[in-house]
Chains A and B, each alone.
Chain A
Amino acid sequence: MLDTTSVSPRALLARRKPGFSLEQAFYTSQEIFDLDLEAIFFRTWIYVGVEPDVPDEGDVMVVDIGRASVLILRDDDGEIRAFHNVCRHRGARIVHDEKSSVGKLVCKYHAWTYDLDGKLLRAEHMGADFDTSCHGLKPVHLKSVEGLLFICLADEAPADIDDLAEKMGPYLKPHAIRDTKVAHQVDLIELGNWKITMENNRECYHCAGNHPELTIPLFEYGFGFSPESMDETKAKEAHRYECMVDDLHGEWEGSGFPSKEIDHLDDRVTGFRTQRLPIDRAGESQTLDTKVASTKLLGELTEAKMGGLSFWTQPNSWHHFMSDHIVTFSVIPLSPDRTLLRTKWLVHKDAVEGVDYDLKRLTEVWIATNDQDGTLVGYQHSGVKSPAYEPGPYSPYTEGLVEKFVNWYCLRLADHLG
């Protein structure tokens, strides 16, 4: 095996070849994994969940990112707040379950009691001179983009999240995330580096060969293709898809649903991309029969055939917004070779399971697709560890967004290293 630790991350970055996958150390070294947490996950905006994760006052969600643990809660005024999950007494973690409801936040250790605005209310035996006001929970930056929750662990959070929120607002609003509920959540641990999980997500080169379920609703051409490598049937398909995008975008935009591509994946700190993509066949939803999985459409939507609005953010999320449901994904690194992929399926908050939607129909496409992707990530990671691995070239046609992800990552790392 190559000695990856002998080359500094700065030097590795400097010799990175654009258009190629990263050198082995980026995927396997503990040092670079630690650097990824510091430079990326503790500095940029991280997608962690949705407002309906904490639907009522007193609901708390815990999200662990590396050595940080964050409480996301809805306070008594209905406001969502984020705090470090660390007691100001001797540092014990306060909340341990991923989801819970509390009256106040009480550290189990010595019962220090905090209000939901983070203020320390009560600490017994600390004496008359003890100033509770200096020992409130430490806040974490939180931004809700139309109900999608982003946190930033840095002291100073990148300000361009506001611009993202402004640009994405009109795209996301019709799907009324705040009026949904989490119908299902799956936590999948993929046996690969988090960047491999992200790279896999940023292309559909592998779709036709691996995702029989997903490619029923999803066109593989939505993420680029090489015209000369296609036979006549495929070329016709691709042409049909391009015409369809033009027609539907005109139609959707005309009726007030922004659909056109916005791509800022690697030209800003808070990178993102969006586009409303057509859905094949019945055209309604990412299901096996491409019809809606939930008969209660989201928000004010009255038309089922709204395609699938895709929204990607750097470094760790992607989302599909359909007329009837939303599938939202967040990626959290666990170790150099283990990554948590957290998938949530959202339906209208009033939709009743078994009446308005069938959970199996709602989730089967992405459960199958995630499993297939998890396997592929494992394949790549185990191969990347091999002494034979060397960075390989990305397809200029189908892997442009992978290159943008890797480029963004390298820019952020370089910025951090100074």
Chain B
Amino acid sequence: MTDATAHLARHLADLQTWDSEADDTLVCTAVVDETHDVRTFVFEPPEPRRFAYRPGQFLTFEFALPSGPVNRCYTISSSPLRPHTVAITVKRVPNGPVSNWLHDHCAPGTAVKAIGPMGEFSCLDDPAPKYLFLSGGSGITPLMAMSRAFADLGRPVDVVFVHAARTPGDIVFRAELDLIARRLPGFRVAHLPERAGGEAGWAGPLGRLSAEFLALVAPDFKERSVWCCGPEPFMNAARSLLGALGHDPRLYHQESFDFAKLASAEPEVAAEVLDAEAAEAAAVPTYDVTFTKLGQTVKVRADQFILAAARDQGVRLAASCTEGLCGTCKAKIVSGTVDMSHKGGIRKKEVDQGLFLPCCSKPKSDLVVDR
């Protein structure tokens, strides 16, 4: 038997359900490119287990970033009817520490910690005869999990799946959604890119969610149970459009990582997340920053800009743009090191001479500044 076959055989043995309280470790088994900046990461436990969850639920992960452990919630994008693995689908966010770490460092074999599943954004919790799924960007994941679950059962459904993206190239799961629509009776897909982008021959509609678009793809939208997930502005726009068109708000559901809701639903999990966040905050060191000419010393956390923290503590420092552009606050470091991200307000040559801009620098040690 090959390794893959042996692995499959182990999964097909009589399996227990994965329990994050007994084992919170997951191991990455595959990484799939969905679009140019979206990837799916597939996980399984170290020992084969079955995952039990409602489509639309999420896991809270703890990723071991070089800077220390970081907690994040990601909705499961895979189908609960394929319970041997779970997948999350993540868009790379510019400067996002976690999404970039996942894209750059999470590979088959990488172990992560996870607790859950949890969350209440699932069509199972509010059954309806007809659905309108509204997804924007990477908010597609819970709706994809629901659609995949329907597809795995193969029985007719009545779902209109709308996915809004920047360009056709940004449509996540495009081919798979089209495939589901072809095979699953009653499942319809309407992709809605804002602009054609690199796909000049795009034949479908372009633009944003509008009354005209809804009339075209789901003229009976008022009868449909709406499930909406996407960036905050997308959900706000969808909700007010539907409200304005007379859609019954009781039939509207939107995903929310509102912590208060999580705390009331799953107090233990919430406590765990809070502990993790508190530990993360406590892990940020605080340094003494001394201004020699002013004769004042302030406490600055490693994640705070020195100028802002000093001003908060009553130290008046000359500054103008406060974003590393003008160089007005330029000062000399007598001792210590900083992490600076300026916008051209200082030259490398000056940095080499020990100068820095307090407005866009965070301390990396205790600091003495000639100011």
A interface residues, Cβ below 8 angstroms from B = 56-58, 76, 101-104, 106, 111, 113, 121-122, 124
Contact = CB atoms under 8 A, between A and B. Distances in A.
A104 B325 contact: yes
Contacts of B328: 106, 111
B81 interface: no
A104 B344 contact: yes
A57 B347 contact: yes
B345 interface: yes
Interface in B335-371: 342, 344-347, 349-350
A106 B350 contact: no
13 contacts: A56-B349, A58-B347, A102-B327, A103-B327, A103-B347, A104-B326, A104-B327, A104-B344, A106-B327, A111-B320, A113-B327, A121-B326, A124-B320
Nearest to B343: A103
A113 B347 contact: no
Given A58-B349, A111-B328, A113-B326, A103 B320 contact: no
Contacts of B320: 106, 111, 113, 122, 124
A113 B350 contact: no
B321 interface: yes
A103 B346 contact: yes
A106 B327 CA distance: 7
Interface string B159-203: 000000000000000000000000000000000000000000000
Interface of chain B, main secondary structure: loop
A147 B39 CA distance: 53
Contacts of B321: 111, 113, 122
Contact of B345 (A56, A104, A124): A104
A111 B326 CA distance: 8
Contacts of B345: 103-104
Given A57-B347, A101-B350, 11 more contacts: A58-B347, A58-B349, A103-B344, A104-B345, A106-B326, A111-B320, A113-B320, A121-B325, A121-B326, A122-B320, A122-B326
A76 B347 CA distance: 10
A104 B343 CA distance: 10
A139 B227 CA distance: 60
A267 B135 CA distance: 78
Contacts of A101: 347, 349-350
A386 B350 CA distance: 53
Contacts of A121: 325-326
A283 to B, nearest CB: 40
Given A113-B320, A113-B321, A124-B320, A102 B347 contact: yes
A113 B349 contact: no
Contacts of A111: 320-321, 326, 328
A395 to B, nearest CB: 51
B360 to A, nearest CB: 11
The 5 closest A-B pairs by CB, nearest first: A111-B320, A113-B326, A103-B345, A58-B347, A103-B346
Contacts of A104: 325-327, 344-345
Contacts of B350: 101, 103
Nearest to B320: A111
A123 to B, nearest CB: 10
A113 B342 CA distance: 15
Contacts of B347: 56-58, 101-103
A284 B1 CA distance: 85
Which of the listed residues A58, A76, A104, A121 has the most CB atoms from chain B within 10 Å of its own CB? Answer: A104
A111 B327 CA distance: 9
A230 to B, nearest CB: 56
Contacts of A76: 344
Contacts of A102: 327, 347
B348 to A, nearest CB: 9
A40 to B, nearest CB: 36
B321 to A, nearest CB: 6
Interface in B81-127: none
A104 B345 CA distance: 6
Nearest to A113: B326
A124 B321 CA distance: 8
Nearest to B330: A103
Interface string B255-269: 000000000000000
